[in-house]
Structure 1
Amino acid sequence: MATSHRQATPPALAHALSAAARGLAVIPLSRRKLPALRSPHHDDPAHPPCHGECGRLGHGVHDASADPARVRALFAAAPWATGYGIACGLPPHHLIGVDLDTKPGTDSPAALRALAVRHEFTIPATVVVLTPSGGRHLWLTGPPDVAVPNSAGRLAPGIDIRGAGGYLVGPGSRGTRGTYATAPGTGRLRPAPCPPALLRLLLPPPPRPSRAHSASDGAALLHFVRTAHEGERNSRLFWAACRAWEQGVGAALAGPLLDAARDAGLPEPEARATLGSAARRVGG
């Protein structure tokens, strides 16, 4: 009897490849929902952390890809992976994740319904992923020129947002508490556009105009961006750029703000996109 030398595709990889076929960029995750590949800079103090410019794997969401060959290479480097993460904010979907958690004393679905009534929007039919803990992830899409920041509980208690630089655990992933699954009837849907009223709530508030501006204002904005930590770089840059445009110095500070964002570790393409979004929103 002839034997096949083909190996069965591990479940996590199979689900990840299926997501990649829909244009979703993915990375392998461990059972703890963390990136499965360790940073190549962890024990290398001579080389500061980067976002993949070094060419090695292990840069978290910055490794994410929808290319099947790249996805297979990622999972080959992490054969222990039991799940996959879907990067948010990337083309073509510019995914935004609304994470309705199940924390004690909170009712996140009710909080979202209350926000919808107060701000007059409706959550459209979209992909919904059920989490092992009883929560749910709503998949929405955003405009290509808007960088939605990640946040935890800012919108309402128990509601976390996954935007640019963040990721969602994909359906079919296995974690320490069970398996993530697509809610019945939503698996064949495309992620729906985020309602404009909800999108406004997800973005940092525009800064208040200031009557008097000085060179120290610009220095403060640059310091604010340069000292940003991972997970807040995009939102800080967007806020600072909006303030610069409000002050009438947006064009003059665009270059210095880009340099400050790069110093903070934000990739230049992301920084340029965020600056452009701020200019369109405030600068006209």
Structure 2
Amino acid sequence: MAILDRQATTLALAHALSAAERGLAVIPLSRTKLPALRSPHHDDPDPGRPPCHGECGRFGHGVHDASADPARVRELFAAAPRATGYGIACGLPPYQLIGVDLDTKTGTDAPAALRALARRHLFAVPATVVVLTPSGGRHLWLSGPAGVVVPNSASRLAPGIDIRGAGGYLVGPGSRTAHGVYALAPGTAHLPPAPCPPALLCLLLPPPPAPGHRTHPAGDRSGAGLVRFVLGAPEGQRNARLFWAACRAYENGIGPALTAPLITAATTTGLPEREARATITSAARRATRHRAA
């Protein structure tokens, strides 16, 4: 048994290093899919102390330990000799990874629910990395725009659809757990995480505030921060950033006033004006639906 465990740890490290080569930050996991390193503050006598996210310099802070540096990854696994898998941190550069976890254990058809959402909100589920889970589910890897924080959620979009965002992690392919091995779906290993469709991205973000409770970016009631966000969009993220910014603008009651500046910012980055106008119109429709709901 000890030999098998060592083999599983060696394989997990090899897979983790391969993921790190792609720029993905990883941590060692146990057979239970939990971080393999115990918190150094587990027996802390002062429960009122602010939580440590690794500032102490020791391992054992879960996803906050995640790294794409091969030397640090080896150190993490050396400190976790019983690790049999690895986790991939979400929400970090270069991909700002978003995990869409389509579960089958709930007795619902999560893939069908995702397709229904796609039809209802007019987006296509892109070809991307897909990881098959031992229970028959699947994880879709998507890339989010830099600067946009997607929260973790469970069954908020639909029953059986969980989202892994900032502060969360996905079990990496090749990991061995108590229930089996996680594996890449055939034909997806060569794919990069596909950009998250703008309409889906908006669904993943926190819902807009209730009517009468408008909020504005801190210290920015003009929307200048949203315009700067669009201006900083790299190729491949221009439409997603514009849609996100327009959604925030309409939620905050400054959408109509900010339409022209947002279009100017989008066209400056290279997005065609017609496409920019269509994207902002879609954001306005979404805000109208939320107000009417």
TM norm structure 1: 0.73
Q: 1:281 aligns with which of 235, 242, 248?
A: 248
C-alpha contact 1:41 1:49 (8 A) present in aligned 2? no
Q: Give, in angstroms, the shift of residue 154 of structure 1.
A: 0.2
Question: Does 2:211 align with 1:244?
Answer: no
* Structure 1 residue 206: Cα displacement: 1.7
User: What secondary structure does 1:89 align onto?
Assistant: coil
Residue pairs, 1:43-54, within 5 angstroms: 43-46=43-46, 48-54=50-56
**How big is the shift at 1:48?**
4.4
- SS in structure 2 of the partner of residue 99 of structure 1: strand
**Counterpart in the other structure of 1:199:** 201
- Name the structure 2 match of 1:138: 140
In the TM superposition, 1:176-187 aligns within 5 A as: 176-187=178-189
Query: 1:274 maps to what in 2?
Result: none
Aligned CA-pair RMSD: 2.3
Q: 1 CA distance for matches of 2:38 and 2:13?
A: 18
Letter in structure 2 aligned against 1:192: A
Aligned 8 A contact 2:100 2:140 in 1: yes
Percentage identity across paired residues of the two chains? 78
Query: What letter is aligned with 2:111?
Result: P
**CA distance in 1: counterparts of 2:133 and 2:189, whole angstroms:** 14
Q: Give the equivalent residue in structure 2 for 1:156.
A: 158
1:96 counterpart SS class: strand
Q: Give the structure 1 partner of residue 287 of structure 2.
A: none
Letter in 2 for 1:145: G
| Contact 2:131 2:140 (C-alpha < 8 Å) held by counterparts | yes
The equivalent residue for 2:225 is none
Q: Which amino acid in 2 is paired with 1:205? A: P
TM superposition outliers: structure 1 runs of 4+ over 4 Å:
277-280
Which residue pairs with 1:42 in the alignment? Answer: 42
Provide Cα deviations, 1:205-243, integer angstroms capped at 9, x if missing partner: 1213527xxxxxxxxxxxxxxxxxxxxxxxxxxxxxxx5
Change in Cα spacing, 1:41 to 1:278, as seen in structure 2 (3 Å) is farther
1:221-274 Cα offsets, whole Å, 9 max, x none, are xxxxxxxxxxxxxxxxxxxxxx531xxx83189xxxxxxxxxxxxxxxxxxxxx
Once the two structures are superposed, residues 109-168 of structure 1 have per-residue CA deviations (whole angstroms, 9 ceiling, x without a partner) of: 100010000111001110000000000000000000100000000000000000000000
Equivalent positions of 1:52-67 (< 5 A) are 52-67=54-69
Match of 2:94 among 88, 92, 95: 92
- Are the aligned partners of 2:209 and 2:215 in contact in 1 as well (CA < 8 Å)? no
Shift of 1:95: 0.2
Pick one of 82, 85, 94 that aligns with 1:83: 85
CA–CA distance in structure 2, aligned partners of residues 278 and 200 of structure 1: 10
Alpha-carbon contact 1:128-1:183 (below 8 Å) kept: yes
SS in 1 for 2:155: strand
Tell me the SS of whatever aligns to 2:215: helix
Q: Partners in 1 of 2:71 and 2:41 — Cα distance?
A: 24
Q: Of 169, 185, 200, which aligns to 2:171?
A: 169
User: 1:29 maps to what in 2?
Assistant: 29
Any unmatched runs of 5+ in structure 2? Answer: 1-5, 222-243, 253-257, 259-293
- Contact 2:97/2:165 (8 A) holds in 1: yes
Q: Whole-Å Cα distance in 2 between the matches of residues 138 and 120 of structure 1?
A: 19
Determine the C-alpha separation between the residues in 2 that align with 1:104 and 1:186.
26
Name the CA distance, whole Å, in 1 between partners of 2:143 and 2:72: 24
Partner residue in 1 for 2:266: none
Q: CA contact under 8 A between 1:52 and 1:62: conserved in structure 2?
A: yes
2:106–2:160 CA contact under 8 A, matched in 1: no
User: 2-side partners of 1:209 and 1:115: how far apart?
Assistant: 25
- SS of residue in 2 equivalent to 1:27: strand
TM-score, with structure 2 as normaliser: 0.71
Name whichever of 98-107 and 133-142 sits farther off: 98-107
Q: Is the 8 A contact 1:41 1:48 kept in 2?
A: no
3-state SS of 1:74 partner: helix
Please give the alpha-carbon distance, in whole angstroms, between the structure 1 residues aligned to 2:94 and 2:161.
25
**Offset of residue 279 of structure 1:** 11
Q: 2:75 and 2:165 mapped to 1: Cα distance?
A: 25
The aligned residue for residue 189 of structure 1 is 191
- Any conservation in 2 of the 1:17–1:68 contact (CA below 8 Å)? yes
Which residue identity does 1:13 align to in structure 2? L
Aligned to 2:233: none
